[in-house]
Amino acid sequence: MFKKIKELLTINKTLAERESYLAELESKVKDREQLFEKTVTEARQSVLEESSQIIAKAKEEANNYIKNAENENAELALKIAKLGQEAEEAEALLDKKQKEWKRIENGAKKLKAETGGIKRLIENFPVAVDFKIVESELAELEAALGDGIYGTIVKLNLHHNDSKALRKEMTANNRDIKKLVESYEARYTTKANKTIYQLMVIGLQAELQNILYTLSYTNLDKAISSAKTLTQKYLTICGNGNANILPTVTRFIQELEPLFENAIQIEYKYYIQKEKEKEEQRQIREQMRQEAEEQRLLEQERKKIEKEEEKYLNEIEKNKELLSKESDAEKIALLEARLKELNEMVENLEEKKDEIVKRANGKAGYVYVISNLGSFGESMFKVGMTRRLNPLDRIDELGDASVPFKFDIHAMIFSENAVGLEQKMHEILNEQRVNKINQRKEFFYADVDILETLVQDIEPTAEFTRTMKAEEYRQSLSVKEEKQLVAV
C-alpha cells in the first residue's frame, strides 16, 4: 500500500514538473511570438521608411527631368523661331536674287537686240562707225591691264611670291618673256595674223600659270615635259591655221621654251628650299635620336661598371677583415696580393667611369672611315662619328640589317672634339657627297689615296688601312663561282 502511495506521489511530482515545464514552454512561445511580432513590425516600418525615401527620390528625379525637358523645349522653341526667321530671310534673299536675275536677263536680251542692230548697222553702213574711237578705247583698256594684253588675268598663288629673291628672279624672267613676245609681235603686218599670235601668247601664259601651280617637289620632270608638250601643241595649232606664219611661230616657240623652263626652275627652287628645311629638321631629330641612344648606352655601361665596382669593393672589405684576423704569413701575403689586384681593378673602373662622364657631357668620340665593297662598290665610303666606348659596336650595328655585307674599317680616329673633326672632313669632301639633299647620309665618292691623305693630314698618328677585305662579299662570289662550275 505504502509502495503504491509512494508511486502516486512520484507520479504527481513528475506531473507537476511536466506542468511547470509546459508552463515555461508556453511562456517562451509567447515571448517568441512577441519577438516575431516586434521583428515584423520593425521590418514593416523599415520597408515603409525606405519606400518613402525611394518615392521621394523618384519624385525629385522626375521633377528634375521635367524641369530639364521644359528647358530643352524652351531652347528648341527658340531654335525653331530662329530657323523660321532665317528661312524668311532666305526666301526674301531668293526673291531679291530672282528679281535681279530677271533684270539681268532682260538687260541681256536688250543688249542682244542692240548688238544685232549695231552689227546690221556696221554691215549696211560701215562709214557710220568711227573706228578711231574704238581703237582709242581698246588702247585705254590695254593700258589698264598693266602688262598689256599679255598680262595674266587670274593671279594664282605661286610660291615664288613668298620669297624676295625668287620673286626678283621670276620678275626678270617675265621681263625677258615680254621682250621676246613684243619683238615677234612687230613682225606681223596683218591684223588677222597678229590676232592669232596674241591669242596664242595669252593661251601659253595661262597654261604656264597652271603648270607652275601644279608643280611639286616630286614632279619637276613632268612639269618641264608638260611645258614642251604645250609649246608643240600651240605650234601645231598655228601651223594648221595659217602655214604662212609657221616659220616665225617656230622660231618664237624655240626661243620661248627656255624661258618657260626657267620659270619652272625658279618656282621649283622654293620646293628645294622647303625640302632642305624638312631634311634639316629630320637630321636634327635623327641626331637627337642617336645622341639619346648613345647616352642610353653610356648610362647602361656606367651602371654595369658601378655594379662591377661594388662587387670588387665588397671583396676588398671582406679581404681586409680576413687580413686583420689572419696570423699565417703565407695567407697574409696572398690576401695582400689580392687586395692590390682588386684596388688596381677599381682604379681601372674609375677611369672608365670618368671616360663615360666625359663622353656624356662633351664632344669626345671616334670618327670612322668605312667601306662596303659588296654593297656600294670600291668608290664609295662612309665618314661618320660615334661616342660609343666601343666604336666597333656602332660599325657592327650599321652592317647588321641595312646592307647585305659587313663594313670594312679603314680608319678609326679618337678625338676630344669628334663632332668638329667629323664636320671638317665632311666639308672637305662635300663636293663628293653622294646624297646632295639628305646631309644625314654620310656617304662620299672617293678613292683610298684621297682618304688616306685626308686622314694623315688631320691626324698624322692615325692608322689607315688601304685594303678592302670584304670577306663576306668575296666568299659569296666564290660560292657563286663554284656553283657555276658544278653546273657546267
Which has more pLDDT, 131 or 48? 48
DSSP-based three-state secondary structure for 101: helix
| Same-domain check for residues 332 and 454 | no
pLDDT at 379: 92
| Structural domain of 309 | 297-360
Cβ atoms of 177 and 266 within 8 Å: the answer is no
**Is 462 exposed, middle or buried, given 0-12, 13-18 or 19+ CB atoms closer than 10 A?**
middle
pLDDT at 402: 78
pLDDT at 15: 67
Distance separating alpha carbons of residues 433 and 420, to the nearest angstrom: 18
- Among residues 294, 277, 316, 273, which one has the least CA distance to residue 360? 294
Give me the sign of the Cα torsion angle 94, 95, 99, 102.
Answer: positive
Cβ atoms of 230 and 207 within 8 Å: the answer is yes
Distance separating alpha carbons of residues 265 and 90, to the nearest angstrom: 50
Cβ atoms of 462 and 411 within 8 Å: the answer is yes
pLDDT at 239: 66
- Window from 31-35, 149-153, 247-251 with minimum mean pLDDT: 149-153
Which has more pLDDT, 345 or 161? 345
Query: pLDDT tier at 377 (50, 70, 90 boundaries)?
Result: very high
- Is 446 a residue whose pLDDT tops 90? yes
Cβ atoms of 438 and 426 within 8 Å: the answer is no
Question: What residues have CB less than 8 Å from 231, skipping those under 6 apart?
Answer: 204, 253, 256, 257, 260
Residue listed under C-alpha cell 663622353: 359
| Same-domain check for residues 340 and 398 | no
| Rounded mean pLDDT, 15-38 | 69
Distance separating alpha carbons of residues 256 and 278, to the nearest angstrom: 34
DSSP for 206-219, please give it: HHHHHHHHT--TT-
| Same-domain check for residues 322 and 415 | no
Cβ atoms of 176 and 258 within 8 Å: the answer is no
| Rounded mean pLDDT, 265-293 | 74
Q: Is residue 367 part of a domain?
A: yes
Q: Is residue 32 part of a domain?
A: no
Residue 130 is given by DSSP the state -
pLDDT tens digits for range 197-222: 788 888 888 888 888 888 888 888 98
| Same-domain check for residues 317 and 393 | no
How many structural domains comprise the chain?
3
pLDDT at 352: 78
The number of beta carbons lying within 10 Å of the beta carbon of residue 278 is 13
- Window from 127-136, 179-188, 233-242 with minimum mean pLDDT: 127-136
pLDDT at 487: 65
Looking at every residue in the chain, the average pLDDT score rounds to 77
| Rounded mean pLDDT, 151-167 | 69
408-415/365-371 β-pairing = antiparallel
Q: Is residue 78 part of a domain?
A: no
Distance separating alpha carbons of residues 426 and 446, to the nearest angstrom: 12
Torsion of CA 180, 181, 186, 192, to 10 degrees: 150
Which has more pLDDT, 381 or 280? 381
| Helix or strand (DSSP H, E) at 410 | strand 408-415
pLDDT at 180: 87
Cβ atoms of 256 and 177 within 8 Å: the answer is yes
pLDDT at 477: 86
| Same-domain check for residues 213 and 327 | no
- Buried residues in 241-265 as b, exposed as e (16+ CB within 10 A): eeeebeeebeebbeebbebbebbbe
Q: Is residue 301 part of a domain?
A: yes
Which has more pLDDT, 390 or 7? 390
Q: Is residue 82 part of a domain?
A: no
pLDDT tens digits for range 314-355: 888 888 888 888 888 888 888 888 888 888 888 888 777 777
| Same-domain check for residues 236 and 319 | no
| Rounded mean pLDDT, 396-405 | 83
pTM comes to: 0.38
Show which of 308, 342, 360 is a domain's final residue.
Answer: 360
Distance set, CA 289 to CA 387, 389, 415 (Å) = 13, 18, 22
pLDDT tens digits for range 420-442: 889 899 999 999 999 887 777 89
Torsion of CA 15, 21, 26, 30, to 10 degrees: 160
Q: Is residue 163 part of a domain?
A: yes
DSSP for 268-327, please give it: HHHHHHHHHHHHHHHHHHHHHHHHHHHHHHHHHHHHHHHHHHHHHHHHHHHHHHHHHH--
Report the percentage of the chain scoring pLDDT > 70.
73
Identify residue 343 by its one-letter amino acid code: N
Show which of 331, 360, 389 is a domain's final residue.
Answer: 360
Distance separating alpha carbons of residues 231 and 254, to the nearest angstrom: 9
| Rounded mean pLDDT, 473-477 | 88
Query: pLDDT tier at 9 (50, 70, 90 boundaries)?
Result: low
Q: Is residue 147 part of a domain?
A: yes
| Same-domain check for residues 371 and 435 | yes
Query: pLDDT tier at 185 (50, 70, 90 boundaries)?
Result: confident
Query: pLDDT tier at 368 (50, 70, 90 boundaries)?
Result: very high
Residue listed under C-alpha cell 500500500: 1
Distance separating alpha carbons of residues 80 and 73, to the nearest angstrom: 10
Show which of 360, 393, 412 is a domain's final residue.
Answer: 360
| Rounded mean pLDDT, 127-150 | 54
- Among residues 17, 443, 353, 256, which one has the least CA distance to residue 248? 256
Which has more pLDDT, 486 or 361? 486
pLDDT at 432: 92
Q: Is residue 28 part of a domain?
A: no
| Same-domain check for residues 148 and 271 | yes
pLDDT at 145: 45
| Same-domain check for residues 237 and 213 | yes
| Same-domain check for residues 350 and 367 | no
| Same-domain check for residues 397 and 312 | no
- Is 98 a residue whose pLDDT tops 80? no
Q: Which three cell numbers stand for residue 143?
A: 593700258
Identify residue 137 by its one-letter amino acid code: E
Alpha helices in 362-442 (DSSP H): 373-376, 391-398, 418-428
Query: pLDDT tier at 301 (50, 70, 90 boundaries)?
Result: confident
DSSP-based three-state secondary structure for 403: coil
pLDDT tens digits for range 59-79: 777 777 777 767 776 677 677
| Same-domain check for residues 400 and 312 | no
